[in-house]
Structure 1
């Protein structure tokens, strides 16, 4: 009932939103190709994006928001916005604008956001502040990806500007004194990813007049060298991105890490500061030693060909560090692994190890710049010491299969990302050191055999082992993580092992599991008790398997709200399963089942299932996409389907009964006729069998096994003829021994029995065919 109320309420809300949307959106009077919408303050929002407009129209004075993106506008004429003092947002991106007039933005003294990226504005824009002078309230300015020639925008009049996104292609190493007036500027984006950037050298004067900047993005700016002191003046800097400056290398960030203690740095991104196909690298103490004097929280070192870390580097990381990303590197075995205990991070990303890269990812051209700098090298006598320490350390020894292998991880670590690292191995018996681990993503590897168990994962809540080609999971593998709430194991080969778990031991330890994804595992069937311990399950995904029937028990899953059995081989749901679903609706307000992509049959065999669809409270998802395989109808109209099936199957029942009845009658008639026609033969056979069972006195010696030469069958009225004439000639003259009933039949036996015995003991049977014989009962014999 509650679910129906929610659905009705949602439908009403959507209808109201639709009506309001339809009522408010209308073609603008000043340009019918644009769409206008009134805001709550009776101001207009104008959408002219993608309308092939070449000239900016004159907007009314009550316009608040204007989008002219993705058109063919070439210039912003003087005074075109002079009546739009209430305009707050203006988007002119992705046009063909090549010039800005001195009064292009006249009248926009309340404008807060100006987006004019992806145009052709170049040196025609004067470096004077006349163009932007009216924009006294502007807070956000995006002029990225305009000309790639040498020019700069003078924005000194924008004293309220907070975010500035511009190109920097002069190759010069400074922002002039005009930027000193931008005291509110906190976000500076010069990234070459979204525009043009060429800043080969950074000096102490580069950001001298931008001392209030907090967020600085210098990614892909082709920086070759950074002088000492380049960031020292940025005391408020808390985010710095130097990624994809491939000529820097680790030696190029020494001056950066030396400056960062003077800042408020929290996030440092130095991804891909080596060439894509360079030799593998090593991170040394001298590269990052001054980071220990910062309060940095997050550091990114992705895609740096990193293979080794000098022992002691991890100990230099500040205690404030919480997140480290070192994905897409080439890490190998080394003594630095022993320093992991000293790290206080709670989130580590070491995904994509050993990944292949695009061959056409060309090296960045680097200039040979020699401006001096501190020397940096590995501390001496480390190699021999490393070998000795490794040999002494029990945690790095080789273990046999029946032993638990100890794994030491940082105590504070909560999340680890080990995605797509090309690791091919089985999970042996593992015992983790004391930890707070809550999240593990080890998907897209080749952990093909989950033997385990993996102990001491008592805090683990999320485990992703999907896409690992696993074909075996032991019944004790999950016992080390009893508090797991989300288990993702889709796209494996568990269909080879789960059908044999008739006692439900595989998932028995996961009693508080809420989400289980077993999709795409080639599962042909599931035992009834496979999920017997999952009382708290809320989402169960079995899609993309080979299930032809589902009959596992789920009545105990009183919190289950979402079942996905799509893309299997189900033609219907059995009554026992639908009954469980109906019982669950008594506990769950909104139970959804996804059966899309199954070959549902709308036949007489599935009429009970179709009928269930018309009455159940269970919400069947995507019914409008689910077509019956035997009828050109969709399950969203299940009542109509049921009505047609009921009529069709009912007529079939009548036909079947009628045909069966006629078949029975016809068979009885045929059998009766045959019995009547061959009744005497049947009686004869009957008496033959009966005589064999009762037994008769057989003659001791007979010629050729016959007692008589002939049995004489005649009517009683022909006695005179038989005894006076026939027997006299036959027996006396012909010496033929005859059997006649008044002389030779055994007294006390039935007539039919005597006749049968006489025929059986006589070589021939002679019938005295007379009118009397034809009129007697003997003719029937």
Structure 2
């Protein structure tokens, strides 16, 4: 039996593709021929000897990083000659034999970076001869900044198959002519992010001998200036990375772009060439001018504190440009926005994180915040002439040209979307708007993907569009409280709609508007409404979504499913995690089963973090859950309870559900329930006696406190004279007689100025606007809590808005006064209301003589004083 388990473990580990191997079993081997002996401190010769003895598997890749190898002897790598990749990084290697790599004939990748090799000493001790089969060589991280000898790049001309070279960048040093013989060298990495790089001045000679180069990475190389001909000899260059040279500045783009005219440039990364806290940057025409004459397809200018473009500067971006990254900048509204249509072939635009806040600690980690000096090496660009710019504008549909020194008529000119634009990414950019009607020009645009998440688009009531090809729309994390059917009428082509983390619960429960919000979105397949404070859903809210496949309603307050699902013929994934669900209706369960049979694929439901109680009234649902437990996402992580409220495991739950048919017919259960009912009745009777006299006790305590301590009004904040009202009265219409006959006369007779919705709301204004106006302009909000109050969606909306206003707008000051007009069971209250009542003092209304007198006195003190 023991051999069986050993065999099982070996098979199980092998199935994952990783198993212990190597000397003393300290290494890990993989099914793809890779052996990892990193951090094992095994001698290199010991590892290679073991590899030479392996007959069942061909080891092609060996990792021995961070093994504290100091010296590689002549025979240390003997018997590793079958390797195609060898990684020796981070070993403090300071010496190697000239014959160390003589055994290799098929080695293609050698990483010997971050050691102590004297690679860059001119006429000094040379590194060993590498195998001529190498295609990738990593020598970066071997330079010593305090080296006193003359610095030089190593002679690698014999590596006639080398395509990728990682090496440290040396100050005032150019690559020698010997590199011209390496015709296969396509990629050169000098980045200071991977090793050492210090190139304050890039001259015309620095790279002139790398004529076959296609990729050049100069990121984080402390560059402060680049000569205009620095890249002119690199005719095959396609990718250039100059990012994270924080003292380079945008003015140097003029010299960079000048030399790129003579290359095959496709991708230019010019991000973070300013310090994070530098002054704002205006992109001028002279900066972009020579780009017009390049083949550039992708441009990155992230984190440059860009604020605006000089008028007509966008006309100078090359026609070949497809992708632009302008993230983490400081853009403001100026006429350049009216010229976006000039980027005629732009397909993807990334402008996320505009106006982002940065950690102040970054200021001390970056170079001195200075304005880079610029001494131009070239004369004025010929493409900047007004006639040339005017001709560009006329050749591109939707590209507006503005005459110099003439006022711009914004009524006749408005932004145009580049015709080929497919993706717009503008998340977390502090856009703070109430969205009104926006016409997208041209109407036959090609937009397919729009991400506006993480902004403050708090209300969207008017149509935006048209979007004939839009598939993905993200409006999540926008503090949105209102979306109307009119707003979504141009979104008929959208298939994926992300609306999570908003405040749409009230509007989605509204029978009139909530039932029609998604009516126009007939092609919707994925809808995310997570974290929207949803208590219930309008019955017909999903009626038109016949193609809907995935619906996410997680992290809400839903306890009962109320939406119609008759037309949800494709629904196969339903996320109800973090709600108060204890049962799903039969019609929803039947629809999911029908969809599974129709499409021959399993439906999935996520009910984690809901409490599932094993009780008779939910027997059908519980048995359905057990029958389809494989369809329940992470079923064993669900919260299960027995009928007494005790937490039970998934296995116990399954066993109890299987016995439900019998137990639900048992007289024992009836006896237990009767005993519980009797005990509950006695508890209520005793509690009622105490409750009946509670006001007398509280009244005596109140009189005692006043007699011994007197009255003193304590407040932490000064009187705010900016409020229009002392209090806004929130109540259900069923309690209007109490409010109008008792509460309002009493408070107003004692000097309070009140706002009452039936009397003081402005006619013709949106109800939501009236509510928010009343709360924000009242010193206090008085909520008359009754059974009718908690059943009213509008009343609960007023309560929640007042609660949010209390937390976020008034620094947690006590501006919400709760009056318990009736005794309401806790199960009728929302989670938010229960939490508020548990943490804050409230007033209880009573008709008891002493209690009523105390109530009116306390309420008046809470509002007027």
1:82 aligned partner = 78
Correspondence 1:165-184 to 2 at 5 A:
165-168=166-169, 170-184=170-184
Distance 2:502 2:639 in 1: 29
Residues 566 and 82 (structure 1), Cα distance of their counterparts in 2 relative to 1, 3 Å cut: same
Contact 2:228 2:378 in 1 (8 A): no
Q: Which residue of structure 2 aligns with residue 294 of structure 1?
A: 294
* Cα distance between partner residues in 2 of 1:455 and 1:581: 34
**Could you tell me which of 391, 395, 410 is aligned with 1:393?**
410
8 A Cα contact 2:197 2:220, kept in partner: yes
1:31-72 Cα deviation digits (max 9, x unpaired): 421234566xxxx53221333446552423353221123433
Distance apart, 1:101 and its partner CA = 3.2
Aligned equivalent of 1:506: 517
Partner of 1:364: 367
Does the aligned pair in 1 maintain the 2:312–2:402 contact within 8 Å?
no
Q: Distance in 1 between matches of 2:452 and 2:68?
A: 48
Are residue 640 (structure 1) and residue 629 (structure 2) matched? Answer: no
1:274–1:22 CA distance, 2 compared to 1 (3 A): closer
Distance 1:555 1:119 in 2: 68
Residues 573 and 286 from structure 1, CA distance in 2 versus in 1: closer, same or farther, beyond 3 angstroms? same
1:97 Cα shift? Answer: 3.0
Indicate if the aligned counterparts of 2:45 and 2:78 stay in contact, CA closer than 8 A.
no
Normalised TM-score (structure 2): 0.68
Cα displacement string for residues 737-772 of structure 1 (whole angstroms, at most 9, x for unaligned residues): xxxxxxxxxxxxxxxxxxxxxxxxxxxxxxxxxxxx
Any conservation in 2 of the 1:220–1:242 contact (CA below 8 Å)?
yes
- Whole-Å separation in 2 of the counterparts to 1:537 and 1:554: 11
Partner Cα distance (1:595, 1:387) in 2: 64
- Residues 504, 533 of structure 1: 8 Å contact kept: no
Match among 651, 659, 684 for residue 666 of structure 2: 651
Using the TM superposition, give the Cα deviation of residue 125 of structure 1 relative to its aligned residue in structure 2, in angstroms: 7.9
Mapped pair 1:628 → 2:628: no
Does the residue aligned with 2:303 lie in a helix, a strand or coil? coil
2:526 to 509, 512, 515: 515
Query: How many angstroms apart in 1 are the aligned matches of 2:534 and 2:517?
Result: 15
Tell whether 2:437 aligns with 1:429.
Answer: yes
- The answer to whether 1:34 aligns with 2:42 is no
Displacement of 1:577: 2.5
Mapping 1:456-475, distance limit 5 Å: 456-475=466-485
Tell whether the 8 Å contact from 1:225 to 1:252 is kept in structure 2 after alignment: yes
Q: Give CA deviations for 1:664-710 in whole Å, capped at 9, x if unaligned.
A: xxxxxxxxxxxxxxxxxxxxxxxxxxxxxxxxxxxxxxxxxxxxxxx
For residue 221 of structure 1, report the CA deviation from its aligned partner.
0.5
* Structure 1 residue 419: Cα displacement: 1.1
CA distance 1:637–1:291, change in 2 (3 Å) = farther
Q: Distance in 2 between matches of 1:121 and 1:586?
A: 67
Q: Corresponding residue for 1:454?
A: 464
Q: 1:605 aligns with which of 617, 622, 627?
A: 617
Deviation at 1:127, TM superposition (A): 6.8
Which residue in the other structure is 2:87 paired with? 91
TM-score normalized by the length of structure 1:
0.75
Show the counterpart of 1:106.
Answer: 102
Q: Once structures 1 and 2 are overlaid, which stretch shifts more, 125-134 or 414-423?
A: 125-134
- Comparing 316-325 and 131-140, the one that deviates more: 131-140
Shift of 1:184: 0.7
What is the correspondence of 1:246-265 to structure 2 with a 5 Å cutoff?
Answer: 246-265=246-265
CA deviations over 1:64-104 (Å, ceiling 9, x no partner): 22112343333333221122221011122333334333233
SS at the partner of 1:497? helix
How big is each residue's C-alpha offset from its partner over 1:346-379, in whole Å with a ceiling of 9 and x where there is no partner?
2112221111223233442589988762467999
Unaligned runs of 5+ in 2: 1-7, 53-57, 390-400, 679-865
Report if aligned partners of 2:215, 2:239 keep a CA contact under 8 Å in 1: yes
The equivalent of 1:238 in structure 2 is 238
Q: Are 2:452 and 1:442 aligned?
A: yes
CA distance in 1, matches of 2:491, 2:88: 54
* Contact 1:66 1:89 (8 Å CA) reproduced: yes
Please tell me whether the aligned partners of residues 202 and 225 of structure 1 are also in contact (alpha carbons under 8 angstroms). Answer: yes
Residue in structure 2 matched with residue 49 of structure 1 by the alignment: 38
Mapped to 2, the partners of 1:338 and 1:355 lie a distance apart of 24
What SS does the aligned partner of 2:544 have? coil
How far apart, CA to CA, are the structure 2 residues paired with 1:424 and 1:580?
A: 41
User: Structure 1 residues 281 and 651, CA, compared in 2 at 3 Å: closer, same or farther?
Assistant: same
Superposed CA offset, 1:135-175 (max 9, x none): 2111112233344425544433322111111222x312411
Q: Does 1:478 align with 2:488?
A: yes
Displacement of 1:441 in angstroms is: 0.7
Instruction: Tell me the CA shift for residue 592 of structure 1.
Output: 0.9
Contact 2:451 2:475 in 1 (8 A): yes
SS at 2:340 equivalent:
helix
SS in 1 for 2:624: helix
* Contact map agreement 2:39 2:64 (CA 8 A) in 1: yes
Indicate if the aligned counterparts of 2:543 and 2:564 stay in contact, CA closer than 8 A. Answer: yes
Instruction: Kindly state the Cα deviation for residue 106 of structure 1 after the two structures are TM-superposed.
Output: 2.8
Q: Does 1:64 align with 2:60?
A: yes
Report SS of the residue matched to 1:289: helix
Deviations 1:537-594 (A, max 9, x none): 1111111111112232224222222211111111232333222222222223121111
The aligned counterpart of 1:532 is 543
Report if the CA contact (8 A) 1:535-1:556 is conserved: yes
1:308 alignment partner, SS class:
strand
Deviates more, 1:317-326 or 1:57-66: 57-66
Q: Secondary structure at the match of 2:605?
A: strand
Task: Specify every segment of 5 or more residues in structure 1 that has no aligned partner in the other structure, as ranges.
Answer: 1-14, 397-405, 664-781
SS of 1:258 mapped into structure 2: helix
CA distance 1:245–1:654, shift in 2 (3 Å): closer
Report deviation, 1:237: 0.4
- In structure 2, the CA distance between the partners of 1:21 and 1:637, relative to structure 1 (3 Å rule), is farther
Match of 1:133 among 129, 134, 138: 129
Greater mean deviation of Cα atoms: 445-454 or 19-28: 19-28
Q: 1:593 to 1:128 in 2, by over 3 A?
A: farther
Which stretch has the larger CA shift, 450-459 or 121-130?
121-130
Tell me the CA shift for residue 454 of structure 1.
Answer: 0.9
